[in-house]
């Protein structure tokens, strides 16, 4: 329990640090927000008045405090481009990206564990060697290219889905998840290959350890050694990998949303970068940071449940 | 004559992992009766462990080719089905390994691991029954709180306790043959004795035959009725332990026996030593090292963002002196603080209180593990030159000359100069380490268990090198060891450490013959050094 | 010490290294051809030859402006390689300095440095690069800086763990006893031992940098037109997927070959070192 509390405290501190760095970067580098709100050729007096009103003349730390307090209340500022609250702009986008990443994550876990174990168990067989080569090649395919290939193959040739035919989750939840399947697959594919490779090698490494010899010496069959002893040990590095993959999948979804025309956080982020809509960019980055750090904390806790040795802390 | 339990004949084991096949065991024969204790002795690479693994049915990889016969109670384990073999493993034949730290599954509770053999071989047993036998087995193995231990994970136990757990797991289904593969090598001397006593008791009370594998001939002599000596994959000598020990036939066996340091308290110590006092440097009366009231600390940082650093005192208020030209032994079990003390003296741990006086300047150090104490990125010659470069000897010719001299002094062949450490044997590496430590001509050398990672016959060579150098160069040596027999032969004075304190200190003769310290007496007993009044 | 050979430590053939070398040499040869003499001018448009299929004249066909895809692919690959090299150089240098200092000196500085580093490390590098590009604008040099900075944490982490490992080893203690100072220990005694691991991370870094650069230019953030870029070619190809699916083939395969070559080399090296 102390461990969990400590982890949550770490999470809070980390998120705070990131939000401060992001705030600092966005308040120092891009230029005068008042000027941007009013447009290029505004009356300097008007700009100064707006600066006063927005509190831009206060010290950065005061501005940060104000920004943080507002953020915690759910007020993420106002979009320069659309002149509407960022919170309202993003409310519909967050669930889409989360659903896409979650679906990709599930695909990765469900497919990689059995494949990894199979590959290790039949080390050196034709199927294993095929998988090894396959993994290596698949890891080299950028997700957006596999997205394009999937669009062409499953969308245009086999007509298993309509490219660009995104269905909102408000309209039809089933169709929403169905449409996300192929984008999720495109995100998951390279991660699956990496996870299979990692699991294969971690099962093989564990199989060479002394305790495996002990297990055999008690009369265990190969299967009971594998499932009774090796697997739990071999899964530990995989759990760490899965945890780190969450962050990559959220990043991956930014690109994949572009490929499949999904109006999620990623698409909004890119449009906002194009429009230099800094409040929106800032909010999205802090949101993603929260998701990434929180998922890492979850993984740490899960790891601690699986590995008794961590408890000493 | 008892009933034959195990009959191994013409066993050959060949590895096909590499391009050239490698035969690790040749024409191995072994006959064991029910209830017998047989010792299998040899140095690393002699094939003793491989033979044991083959008997335990643990060499099943395709790359290993085995021929011959392993008859256990009439069944050929080498040529029977996997199912048949498995029905013996853990039930009739059990094995205990050298490394209790890694031989247990790290993420499974002790209880489940101990009862596993029962689960496999007696699936009909009730949960309760299995639990009871598991607890009984743990308490039979000498674990004081079986129920508590059963709920723990391996990392929560000490090495000695883990080895008891291994034995409890091996003995749970009353095997007829227990294979013990160097079961005490990784343990402290006092714990070693306890484990040996446990094996003896198991054999006596339950009639289990024991195949005991070890590199330590004197240990085998004490425990086993018969012994096989292996060398380069072959059994070169076999017979009753006492006979082999007293009248060895083969040169290699003689060499093995000679490598056990002689200790006979009934006669002057010089009879057991190759070096006599008249050639030792005369004591100058000055100290090369003088330590007063030294306490040493270690810090460990807690994990997490707010991890506090914790300071633990490992050595408590210790005082000792090493005279010029003298060898002082610092003896203790692992965790006694002897290495910590040595590192503090060398200046590698600044976290200490008290005073360390080194009138003759900085000491140099030789470490235990020769595989970790030479920089793998450089050649031997470079490594020997580096101390000179650091000392400001900028003339290349001068450096080369002095390296040549040193290589000759420590008996290293000149051709090894261009090699990398990974291309050298353990003994050769330790010679390089000693040479490198002496390049800057220190007056005090700290040797931290310099031979314990080496094979016994190599140990003798390195120790005699150290002895010779000490004499020729008039070195003072702080010799850290756990082996009282070596200390008897090599050292002038001894300090005994326990839990960070020096519990006994004095001249070697005085301590060995007359010390009244309980702990010293226990250590002497564990090393089989017997005083007159105790005989 | 690391000595080059196509065989793993145990004498078995190291097929990773062999395959990686073959593919990388092929890629480099194509890039060299692009530098020396590309078959066509990458900007030469020919509206009569839009979306020509694969032929002897245009081995990878032509694009929506009738430009030769093969020429654009090999020239674009050179741009990608330059960006990857810059990225890895920045990441490596930054990582070396931070990682070596943190690993060797330890203590509070290490704790703070690594906490920041881990936070950044948890953050996907493409996202970090997006943030930086959004602040400083796009273009080749900004992309190099953005990706390079984003790559520092992973290099720093690796260098730190190596320095930490060696810092505690007996041979470093020995060198310290003989009077070697911190700089000499780091540069002469520890650094050469980290080279094999460093080499394999540099190769894996190339692999990741190529992927990241391609992703950014696919999003239209990396290299700006008219300079040919593999990522942007794929993004164009996607718009014409229905009419000219073959256009995607050339740039896609080129990226895969580059990544595959570097990743195989990287793994081959690490297999060579760790056995």
Residue B262 carries which DSSP code?
A: P
Candidate ranges A194-203, B305-314, B449-458, C7-16; pick with highest mean pLDDT: A194-203
Of the candidate ranges A282-296, B237-251, C234-248, the one whose mean pLDDT is the lowest: C234-248
**B428 has pLDDT over 70:** yes
Does residue C7 belong to any structural domain of this protein? no
- Is C189 within 8 Å of chain B by CB? yes
Would you give the distance in Å from CA A141 to the centre of its chain?
Answer: 19
Average pLDDT over residues C248-258: 87
Interaxial angle between packed helices B456-473 and B251-258, expressed in degrees from 0 to 180 and rounded to the nearest 10: 50
> With bands split at pLDDT 50, 70 and 90, how would you rate the model's confidence at C184?
very high
**Cα–Cα–Cα angle for B314, B320, B323, nearest 5°?**
140
Q: What pLDDT is recorded for position B304?
A: 46
- Least confident residue range of A197-211, B124-138, C130-144: C130-144
What's residue B278's pLDDT?
A: 47
Instruction: Determine what percent of chain B is predicted with pLDDT higher than 70.
Output: 95
pLDDT for position C203: 87
Residues of B with CB under 8 A from a CB of C: 17-19, 301, 305, 307, 343, 346-348, 362-365, 367-369, 372-378, 386-387, 390-391, 420, 433, 436-437, 439-440
- % of chain B surpassing 90 pLDDT: 50
**CATH code: domain of residue C128:** 1.10.3720.10
What is the spatial distance between Cα B181 and Cα B213, in angstroms, rounded to a whole number?
5
pLDDT at A30: 64
Is the pLDDT confidence value at B535 over 60? no
Binned at pLDDT 50, 70 and 90, residue B308 comes out as: low
Q: Chains near C, with 3+ CB pairs < 8 A? A: A, B
pLDDT of residue C59: 72
Residue C107 lies in a domain: yes
Closest to B373 (Cβ–Cβ): which among C115, C170, C192? C170
What's the pLDDT score for residue C2? 43
Give the pLDDT of residue C52. Answer: 67
Q: Which residue of B has its CA nearest to A231?
A: B107
pLDDT of residue B533: 59
Residue of B220, B133, B131 whose CA lies nearest to B456: B220
Give the Cα separation of C183 and B226 in Å (integer). Answer: 58
Q: Do you find a cis peptide bond into A172, omega within 30 degrees of 0?
A: no
Contacts of residue B375 in chain C, CB cutoff 8 Å?
171, 175, 189, 193
Nearest CA in chain B to A230: B105
Q: What is the pLDDT of residues B252-288, one digit of tens each?
A: 999 888 888 878 777 777 777 765 544 555 666 788 8
Q: How far apart are CA C38 and CA C73, in angstroms?
A: 10
Let me know: does B314 contact B296? Beta carbons within 8 Å: yes
Digit-by-digit pLDDT tens for chain A (313 residues) are: 677 787 788 778 878 888 888 888 877 766 666 666 666 666 777 777 777 777 777 777 888 888 888 888 888 777 777 878 888 888 888 889 989 999 999 999 999 999 999 999 998 889 999 999 999 999 999 888 988 888 888 888 888 877 777 777 778 888 888 888 999 999 999 999 999 999 999 999 999 889 999 999 999 998 999 999 999 999 988 988 898 888 888 888 888 998 888 888 888 888 888 777 888 888 888 888 888 888 888 888 888 888 877 654 4
- CB-CB under 8 Å, B372 with C177: no
> Can you tell me the distance from the alpha carbon of C157 to that of C98, in angstroms, rounded to the nearest whole number?
9
Question: What mean pLDDT is predicted for residues B197-223?
Answer: 91
Instruction: Dig out the tokens for B296 from the structure.
Output: 């040493």
- Assigned domain for C51 exists: no
Whether the predicted pLDDT of B358 surpasses 60: yes
Which residues, including other chains, have CB under 8 Å from residue A155's CB and lie 6 or more apart? A161, A162, A163, A182
In a domain? residue C103: yes
- Chain centre to alpha carbon of residue C258: 9
| Residue C142 structural domain | 15-44+63-274
pLDDT for the residue numbered A270: 85
- Confidence (pLDDT) at B280: 57
- Mutate which: C8, C105, C170, C187, vs B, most B CBs within 10 A: C170
pTM (predicted TM-score): 0.83
Considering CB atoms only, which of B88, B97, B121 is closest to A210? B97
Q: How confident is the model at residue B2 (pLDDT cuts 50, 70, 90)?
A: confident
- Name chain B's partners: 3 or more CB pairs within 8 A: A, C
As given in the structure block, the two tokens for residue C140 are: 């080749």
Say if the ipTM goes beyond 0.90.
no
User: Which residues, 6+ apart, have CB-to-CB distance to B350 below 8 Å?
Assistant: none
Q: Are B363 and B442 in contact (CB under 8 A)?
A: yes
With a CB cutoff of 8 Å and minimum separation 6, the contacts of C273 are: C2, C9, C196, C197, C200
Q: Do A233 and B105 touch (CB under 8 A)?
A: yes
Location of structure tokens 């993004």: C235
The predicted pLDDT at position C68 comes to 76
Q: Which tokens in the block code for residue A72?
A: 């915690």
- Which among C11, C178, C189 has the least Cβ separation from residue B19? C11
Largest CA distance in chain C: 77
pLDDT in the model for residue C13: 66
The structure tokens listed for A20 are: 């401060």
List, in order of start, the domains of chain A with CATH numbers.
Answer: 19-90 (no CATH), 93-262 (1.10.3720.10)
Contact residues on chain A for B58, CB-CB shorter than 8 A:
213, 216-217
Question: B511-518: which pairs have CB atoms within 8 A and are 24 or more residues apart?
Answer: B512/B263, B512/B265, B512/B484, B512/B488, B513/B265
Which residue would you say has higher pLDDT here, C69 or B316? Answer: B316
* Closest to C199 in 3D by CA, of C146, C162, C149, C144: C162
**Confidence at residue A1, expressed as pLDDT on a 0 to 100 scale:** 65
Residue C39 within a domain: yes
Tokens in use for C173? 């203690």
- The answer to whether C117 and C155 have CB atoms below 8 angstroms apart is no
State the total domains in chain C: 1
Bigger pLDDT: B456 vs C42: B456
Residue C19 lies in a domain: yes
**From edge to edge, which strands make up the β-sheet containing B37-41?**
B93-96, B177-181, B209-214, B37-41, B226-231, B234-240
The contacts of residue C83 (CB under 8 Å, 6+ apart) are: C140, C143, C144, C147, C209, C213, C222, C223
Q: How confident is the model at residue C126 (pLDDT cuts 50, 70, 90)?
A: confident
**pLDDT for the residue B363:** 92
Minimum mean pLDDT range among B228-232, B367-371, C123-127: C123-127
Instruction: Note whether B356 and B519 are within 8 A (CB).
Output: no
pLDDT at residue B116 tops 70? yes
* Contact: A313, B89; criterion CB under 8 Å: no
Q: Which helix (H) or strand (E) holds B316?
A: strand B309-323
Q: What is the pLDDT of residue C1?
A: 39
| pLDDT the model gives residue C275 | 56
C30 is written with which tokens? Answer: 């194509």
In a domain, C164, yes or no: yes
Which of A298 and B162 is assigned the larger pLDDT? Answer: B162
Distance CA B75, CA B60 (A): 18
Residue B127, pLDDT > 70, answer yes
User: So what's the pLDDT on residue A56?
Assistant: 72
pLDDT of residue C3: 46
């Amino acid at each position: 329990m102390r461990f969990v509390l400590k982890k949550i405290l770490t999470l809070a501190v980390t998120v705070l640090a990131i939000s401060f760095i992001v705030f600092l970067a966005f308040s120092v580098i891009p230029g005068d927000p008042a000027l941007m709100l009013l447009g290029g050729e505004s009356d300097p007096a008007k700009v100064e008045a707006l600066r006063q009103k927005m509190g831009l003349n206060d010290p950065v730390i005061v501005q940060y405090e104000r920004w943080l307090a507002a953020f915690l209340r759910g007020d993420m500022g106002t979009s320069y481009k659309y002149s509407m609250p960022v919170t309202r702009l993003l409310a519909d986008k967050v669930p889409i990206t989360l659903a896409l990443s979650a679906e990709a994550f599930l695909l990765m876990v469900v497919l990689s564990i059995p494949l990894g174990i199979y590959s290790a168990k039949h080390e050196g067989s034709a199927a294993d060697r095929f998988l090894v080569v396959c993994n290596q090649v698949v890891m080299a395919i950028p997700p957006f290219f596999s997205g394009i290939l999937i669009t062409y193959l499953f969308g245009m040739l086999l007509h298993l889905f309509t490219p660009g035919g995104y269905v909102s989750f408000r309209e039809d939840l089933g169709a929403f998840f169905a449409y996300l399947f192929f984008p999720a697959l495109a995100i998951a594919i390279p991660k699956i290959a990496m996870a299979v490779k990692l699991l294969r090698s971690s099962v093989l490494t564990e199989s060479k350890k002394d305790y495996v010899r002990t297990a055999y010496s008690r009369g265990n069959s190969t299967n009971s050694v594998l499932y009774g002893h090796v697997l739990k040990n071999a899964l530990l590095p995989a759990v760490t990998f899965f945890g780190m993959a969450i962050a990559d999948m959220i990043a991956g979804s930014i690109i994949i949303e572009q490929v499949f025309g999904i109006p999620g956080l990623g698409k909004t982020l890119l449009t906002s970068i194009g429009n230099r809509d800094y409040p929106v960019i800032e909010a999205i980055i802090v949101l993603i940071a929260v998701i990434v750090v929180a998922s890492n904390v979850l993984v740490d806790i899960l790891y601690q449940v699986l590995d008794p040795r961590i408890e000493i802390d | 004559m008892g009933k034959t339990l195990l009959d191994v004949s013409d066993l050959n084991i060949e590895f096909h992992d590499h391009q050239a096949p490698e035969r690790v065991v040749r024409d191995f024969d072994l006959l064991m009766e029910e209830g017998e204790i047989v010792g299998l002795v040899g140095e690393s690479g002699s094939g003793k462990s491989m033979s044991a693994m083959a008997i335990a049915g643990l060499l099943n990889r395709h790359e290993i080719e085995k021929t011959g016969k392993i008859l256990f109670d009439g069944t050929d384990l080498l040529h029977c089905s996997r199912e048949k073999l498995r029905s013996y493993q853990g039930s009739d034949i059990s094995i205990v390994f050298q490394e209790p730290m890694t031989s247990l599954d790290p993420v499974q509770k002790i209880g489940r691991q101990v009862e596993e053999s029962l689960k496999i071989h007696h699936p009909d047993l009730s949960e309760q029954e299995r639990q009871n036998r598991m607890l009984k087995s743990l308490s039979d193995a000498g674990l004081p709180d079986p129920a508590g231990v059963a709920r723990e994970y391996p990392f929560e136990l000490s090495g000695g306790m883990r080895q008891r757990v291994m034995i409890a797991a091996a003995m749970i289904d009353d095997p007829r043959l227990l294979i013990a593969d160097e079961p005490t090598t990784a343990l402290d001397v006092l714990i070693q004795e306890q484990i040996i006593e446990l094996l003896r008791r198991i054999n006596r009370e339950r009639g289990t035959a024991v195949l005991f594998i070890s590199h330590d001939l004197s240990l085998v002599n004490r425990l086993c009725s018969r012994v096989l000596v292996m060398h380069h994959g072959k059994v070169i000598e076999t017979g009753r332990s006492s006979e082999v020990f007293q009248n060895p036939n083969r040169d290699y066996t003689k060499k093995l026996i000679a490598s056990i340091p002689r200790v006979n308290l009934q006669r002057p110590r010089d009879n057991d030593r190759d070096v006599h006092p008249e050639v030792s440097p005369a004591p100058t009366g000055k100290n090369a090292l003088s330590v007063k009231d030294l306490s040493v600390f270690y810090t460990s940082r807690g994990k997490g963002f707010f991890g506090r650093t914790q300071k633990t005192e490992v050595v408590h208020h210790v005082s000792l002196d090493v005279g010029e030209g003298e060898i002082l032994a610092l003896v203790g079990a692992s965790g006694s603080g002897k290495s910590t003390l040595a590192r503090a003296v060398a200046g590698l741990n600044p976290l200490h209180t008290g005073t360390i006086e080194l009138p003759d300047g900085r000491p140099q150090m030789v470490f235990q593990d020769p595989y970790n104490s030479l920089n793998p990125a450089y050649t031997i010659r470079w490594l020997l030159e580096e101390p000179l470069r650091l000392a400001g000897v900028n003339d290349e010719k001068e450096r080369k000359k002095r390296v040549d001299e040193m290589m000759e002094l420590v008996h290293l062949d000149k051709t090894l100069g261009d090699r990398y450490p990974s291309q050298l044997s353990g003994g050769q590496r330790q010679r390089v380490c000693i040479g490198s430590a002496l390049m800057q001509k220190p007056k005090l050398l700290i040797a931290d268990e310099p031979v314990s990672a080496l094979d016994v016959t190599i140990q003798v060579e390195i120790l005699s090198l150290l002895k010779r150098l000490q004499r020729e160069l008039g070195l003072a040596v702080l010799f850290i060891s756990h082996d009282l027999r070596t200390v008897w032969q090599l050292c002038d004075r001894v300090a005994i450490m326990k839990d960070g304190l020096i519990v006994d200190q004095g001249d070697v003769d005085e301590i060995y013959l007359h010390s009244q310290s309980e702990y010293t007496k226990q250590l002497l007993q564990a090393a089989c050094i017997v005083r007159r009044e105790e005989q | 010490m690391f000595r080059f050979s196509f065989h793993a430590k145990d004498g078995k053939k190291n097929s990773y290294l062999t395959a990686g070398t073959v593919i990388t040499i092929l890629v480099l040869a194509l890039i060299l051809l692009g530098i020396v003499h590309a078959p066509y001018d990458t900007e030469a448009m020919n509206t009569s030859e839009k979306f020509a299929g694969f032929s002897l004249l245009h081995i990878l066909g032509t694009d929506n402006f009738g430009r030769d895809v093969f020429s654009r692919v090999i020239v674009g690959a050179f741009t990608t390689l330059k960006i990857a090299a810059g990225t890895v150089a920045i990441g490596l240098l930054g990582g070396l300095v931070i990682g070596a200092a943190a690993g060797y000196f330890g203590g509070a500085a290490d704790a703070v440095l690594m906490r920041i580093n881990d936070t950044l490390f948890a953050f996907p590098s493409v996202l970090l690069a997006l943030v930086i590009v959004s602040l400083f604008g796009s273009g080749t040099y900004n992309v190099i800086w953005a990706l390079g900075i984003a790559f520092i944490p992973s290099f720093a982490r690796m260098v730190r763990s190596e320095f930490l490992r060696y810092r505690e080893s007996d041979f470093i203690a020995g060198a310290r006893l003989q009077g070697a100072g911190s700089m000499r220990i780091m540069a002469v005694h520890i650094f050469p031992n980290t080279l094999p691991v460093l080499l394999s991370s540099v190769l894996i870094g190339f692999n990741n940098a190529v992927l990241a650069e391609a992703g950014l230019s696919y999003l239209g953030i990396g290299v700006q037109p008219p300079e040919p870029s593999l990522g942007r070619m794929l993004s164009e190809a996607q718009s014409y997927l229905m009419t000219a699916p073959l256009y995607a083939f050339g740039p896609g395969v080129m990226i895969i070959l580059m990544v595959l070559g570097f990743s195989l080399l990287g793994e081959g090296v690490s297999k060579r070192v760790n056995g």
